[in-house]
Chain A
Amino acid sequence: MLRIENLSAWYGEARVLREVSLEVAAGEVVTLVGRNGAGKSTLLRCVMGLHPGQSGAISLDGRDVTRLPAHRRARLGLGWVPDDRGAYASLTVTENLTLPPRVGPDPWSLERVYEAFPALHLRRDSPATKLSGGEQQMLALARVLRMGARLLLCDEPTEGLSPLLVQQVGDLLREAKKHGVTVLLVEQNLHFATGVADRHYLLAEGRVVEAMDNSEVRSRERELLAYLGI
């Protein structure tokens, strides 16, 4: 579904990604793990089309999207779940949910979203930034599901959440996967990552240094945790 070839990216003079190549198949959940500054978030931004300084090629369903602006990529089915959760203060909760156009074959209806997230329904007419951190994260995920996005790009969706909410995010991603949604996930929480993902890429200093499956991550958990500094 997603294919990245020799992707390099810069912030000014600083090179943050070096010739990264990876693939995500349709229906897969794949995580990017690595230390802070390894280039994980930049990689997601490149896929979304939000990072201007880059070289290499990105293709979606075999179509080269390297030169496509972000809004066109979104319309091809990319769902953006940013690390700051992307809640608009000047839009109500309902408006936050309905802002993106429907792009996929199987978008959630607003009713379904509110059934799954009663807390959002209760606050549907409030500005989205009045929601708690956890509710804002649910809003960010619900928004891309309502779009019907086929490939979710999630930047640390569990960061700062209580264990209960982390579990809820996990349930949601598994549910989406069951319906054929593909997910590329930046994640520091290895336990969470092995619970939802099929495969993992370890990034270090802008390179993919290892590709691992769940059993490998589990058996090397201590080593990896020590490496990630958690």
Chain B
Amino acid sequence: MTGFLQHTFDGLVNGAFYALLALGLAVIFGMLRVVNFAHGAFYMLGAMGAYVLLAEFGVPFWWALVIMPVVLGVLGMALERAFVHRLARLDPLYNFLLTFGLVLILQDLVKSRYGVQSIPYATPESLGGSVDLGIFDFPTYRVFVLGFAVAICVAVWWALTHSRVGMVVRAATERPELTRAFGINVGRWVTPVFGFGIALAGLAGVLAAPMRAVNPLMGADLIIVVFAVVVIGGLGSIFGSVAAGFGIGLIQAWGVVYLADWPILSQTLVFIVMAAVLLWRPAGLFGREEAPA
């Protein structure tokens, strides 16, 4: 029983990263209809940035947690203005190629400077050690990651459902043309939403630095699973992406333990789940079929 609870907690912590990344992908896809292939690269930049800030400038974790999302969010907005925006009218494939090319460039830039070896990043002192959760001890940092990610997801959800900006984003996501006809300048919201999605990826990266291997390829390994998460939750569905993020974290954690004798199965479990969900609900668990424009 204790073992099961421990795996469950591990799964939720991993799910927290999936949820933060999927959430960013979902808001970007919803508003721009762009599948941001570079999302994993920005996650990597968040972690690398935290390392560089600490190693070169002595900037501690807590500041990195604020600085990197802001820096990457601004970078994301510039990217949207300079490139993504110009390709928006064309086939979605163009933006797919653009963001994929960006992954290669960003990865190689980081590789040429810092190599491919994983870099250690110390857990912030205040979050060291472990906490007793009653039945077992759990590393304090992981408890923090889970709580922080859940708080962010809830805050984003609340803002989307309770604020005027959130209402406009929902309307523009569902029916962009109709929303313009109601006097709303949809184009004005596209850039900040893109930047916000990227900032969430950067935030996840900073959170990952103390507990994951920091290297140029860390995002590439993760993003494939995150794409599966987004598809399972339903493309563009905010709630679906977060729920599926935590769900897939759990399924993976349980699979590794309880399917240990069938490693092939446990490694492909996510994609088996994805295929099953798509057969059952082609638009994903919480997705809606695209309405006509």
Contact = CB atoms under 8 A, between A and B. Distances in A.
A170 interface: no
B186 A71 contact: yes
B171 A74 contact: no
A27 interface: no
A91 B180 contact: no
Interface of B: 167-168, 170-171, 173-175, 177-186, 288, 291-292
Interface string A139-159: 000010001000000000000
Contact of A88 (B170, B177, B185): B170
8 contacts: A49-B180, A71-B186, A82-B178, A86-B178, A90-B171, A90-B174, A95-B171, A101-B184
A26 interface: no
Given A89-B288, A91-B167, A99 B184 contact: yes
Nearest to B185: A71
Contacts of A43: none
Interface footprint category on A = 20 to 34
A75 interface: yes
Contacts of B183: 71, 74-75, 100-101, 103, 147
A99 B292 CA distance: 20
A48 interface: yes
A74 B167 contact: no
Interface string A86-98: 1011110001001
Contacts of B177: 50, 70
Contacts of B171: 88, 90-91, 95, 99
Contact of B184 (A48, A50, A100): A100
A201 interface: no
